[in-house]
Structure 1
Amino acid sequence: MLPSSLDPEIAAILAQLPSPPKGSMTIEERRAGFAMAVAGMQKGMESLLPNESEYTVEDHAVSVEGGEIRVRSVVPKGGEDLPLLVWFHGGGWALGDLDMDDYYLKILSVNVNISILNVEYRLTPEFTFPTNLNDAYAGLKWAAENAKKLSASLSKGFMVGGASAGGNFAAVVSLLARDDLFFKDRPLTGQLLIVPITVHVDANVDQYRSELLSMEENKDAPFLDADTVRYFEEILQVSPEDPRISVLLAKSHANLPPAYVQVSGLDPLRDEGILYEKVLRNAGVKTQIHVYPELPHGGHAFFPTTKNSIKFNADTEDGIRWLLSL
């Protein structure tokens, strides 16, 4: 896939903003910058929010090893026996929180008429891997055990989803759940993988080398560059070949739930998303994939009112409907 030019609408917006700082940043500086970007994202979504009378929101506590995490349910008003989507936020496993996708998930829940459980997990580097993954998996199990409390019926649909590092978690927990007797009678029915991380930047990928070019081609991409990917994967302190991050390298991808994959063209992660869909499809998994050549990583969320982002987010909703139709 040839490198793309930046969406002109997004380019015009970025030209009005201050240039991002150059050089190394502390995790605190990265979090502060990310929080500002999230605030801007939410401001852009305000006009898209459904009326508060159209949904209910409730926070719950989930016990995990060494403490507890919060999860937040979003349920369309009057909904009952709804399909369930368990969501994991992005942020390189080190940024973000339960609030960052709050607006987005309210919109998604009402538009598609599904129950959504947003799972917060403890962040690296304060909590070492696999604490955050274990938290995400604990949230998934809690959802399975408390579907009725969430106005959901797993027989109507039981999906996992997320963007970026959250997409990585969605793919990884799909593998874990496939092999876990806990889920034998309540299997996952779909994966929503939005601009996902599927292989560690330092993993041995010789067999795929010719198909993984975007980390170099898009190394200086706006919003997420290759150095930033490397930073977050390094502070995670996980073996690059561990399938709990490099899900692309799992021994088998057979019998995984159907996957809807979305990939941004101006993204260092572009090719690993495209390749993961191919690997799933070759393993007999039902898949759909859409690629958006002009969008940078996260552009669909941070610039939600541009033409390409509107298309991306409408496709997400249709992708969920497709997963529920199978």
Structure 2
Amino acid sequence: MNRRTRLLTTAGRRLPRPDPPTPAYLRRVRSELPKPLAHVVLGSVSRGIELLDDVLPTTPYAVPVRVYRPRQAVGPLPLLVNLHGGGFVFGNLSGADWLCGQLADRVGAVVVSVDYRLAPEHPAPAPYEDAWAATSWLLDHAGRWGADPTRAVVVGESAGGNLAALVTLALRDRRRADPDAPGLVGQVLIYPSTDLTMTTGSALAMVDAPVLNKAAVDWYGRQYVPQGLPHSILPDDPRVSPLRAADHADLPPALVVAAGLDPLRDDALAYAAALDRAGVPVRTVLYPEAVHGFVSIPRFEPAAAQALDEAVAHAAAATIHP
């Protein structure tokens, strides 16, 4: 374990997680970092990218979004829908600024990052409902920001990768029922959580993993899929675990990124294997020494730039004009 990984492991162990979390705790950990600090830790957005915060008129809940668009863009651009990570409990739009800004700049795309509702106030399936409502609305109204709905890709990191996979499956089902319905041409899943039972080999073995140890994994699970309530969803339900879906065929080409020092490593690899078995074109990239969440700390993790290169290449290839 190198020095960087040791520091991340120590920091992760020292993060208190009250159970249940108090409102004051959630307000504190969900607050956005001051911009100067955010630029140092998370990376900054290129000056060539215009940012706009908006709220989608989705029902029954309006969903906040942040739009990234190249300032000098001409003509309809590809549409990338981003779903941030954070264990379904944390995460905000500013935490995804570097990734979304880079994708907008290097792909030449309109990127829309979705600020879905969070657990424990809004447990499953609320985050998915927002992700589905926002993505569906964006495909139907892509022209609002000069985007082309026929060249749309969904991007998701960690918990957002879970939601991205679920949205992709739902859009596939909608197109099967209505071939004229808008769909996706690609999906980018970055260390996605695909099986909330957490029974894969890496989940069982990496109980003291850097950043995301077993105690943290279990805590996130209790917030997102609480049990014993009238409307509880079991962790193996396909509505929250895309790996458990009955059918993975007819999905758009996928890039699946996995981190070697991550209990979700085998979630990502198993989902990639399921896509491959179903005949879906899939590229799987494993960074053996990377920790969970490494794409969110590009200033500290060299592999983040390599993963970005992969995401850019995949999105650009998927959205090129036929």
Give the TM-score of the pair, scaled to structure 2. 0.86
Q: Percent identity among equivalent residues?
A: 29
Aligned pairs, how many?
308
SS in 1 for 2:77: coil
Instruction: Tell me: CA distance 1:216–1:12, structure 2 relative to 1, closer, same or farther (3 Å).
Output: closer
| Gapped regions of structure 1 (runs ≥ 5) | 1-5, 206-211
Over aligned residues, Cα RMSD in angstroms?
2.7
Instruction: Tell me: CA distance 1:24–1:323, structure 2 relative to 1, closer, same or farther (3 Å).
Output: same
Does the 8 A contact of 1:121 with 1:132 survive in 2?
Answer: yes
Does residue 255 (structure 1) correspond to residue 250 (structure 2)? The answer is yes
State which of 37, 41, 44 in structure 1 corresponds to 2:41: 44
Give the TM-score of the pair, scaled to structure 1. 0.85
Distance in 2 (alpha carbons) for counterparts of 1:129 and 1:15:
28
| Gapped regions of structure 2 (runs ≥ 5) | 226-232
Instruction: Tell me: CA distance 1:13–1:34, structure 2 relative to 1, closer, same or farther (3 Å).
Output: farther
State which of 69, 72, 95 in structure 1 corresponds to 2:66: 72
Aligned to 1:236: 224
Does the 8 A contact of 2:32 with 2:94 survive in 1?
Answer: no
Does residue 178 (structure 1) correspond to residue 155 (structure 2)? The answer is no
Instruction: Tell me: CA distance 1:15–1:217, structure 2 relative to 1, closer, same or farther (3 Å).
Output: closer
Instruction: Tell me: CA distance 1:290–1:121, structure 2 relative to 1, closer, same or farther (3 Å).
Output: same
Instruction: Tell me: CA distance 1:27–1:308, structure 2 relative to 1, closer, same or farther (3 Å).
Output: same
Does the 8 A contact of 1:280 with 1:287 survive in 2?
Answer: yes
Aligned to 1:226: 214
Aligned to 1:139: 134
Does the 8 A contact of 1:86 with 1:116 survive in 2?
Answer: yes
Does the 8 A contact of 2:5 with 2:291 survive in 1?
Answer: no
Distance in 2 (alpha carbons) for counterparts of 1:30 and 1:215:
26
Distance in 1 (alpha carbons) for counterparts of 2:193 and 2:27:
20
Q: For residues 11-52 of structure 1, what are the alpha-carbon distances to aligned partners after superposition, in whole Å with 9 as ceiling and x for unaligned?
A: 375499696246755535466356588975542344x5312x
Instruction: Tell me: CA distance 1:185–1:68, structure 2 relative to 1, closer, same or farther (3 Å).
Output: closer
Does the 8 A contact of 2:85 with 2:158 survive in 1?
Answer: yes
Q: For residues 77-124 of structure 1, what are the alpha-carbon distances to aligned partners after superposition, in whole Å with 9 as ceiling and x for unaligned?
A: 132211111111111111112222123311221122111111111111
SS in 1 for 2:123: coil
Instruction: Tell me: CA distance 1:13–1:33, structure 2 relative to 1, closer, same or farther (3 Å).
Output: same
Instruction: Tell me: CA distance 1:15–1:127, structure 2 relative to 1, closer, same or farther (3 Å).
Output: closer
Paired residues for 1:1-326 under 5 Å: 6=1, 8=2, 10-11=4-5, 14=8, 20-21=14-15, 24=18, 26-28=20-22, 29=25, 32-33=28-29, 35=31, 42-46=39-43, 49-51=45-47, 54-79=48-73, 80-155=75-150, 157-180=151-174, 181=177, 184-201=180-197, 212-237=200-225, 238-324=233-319
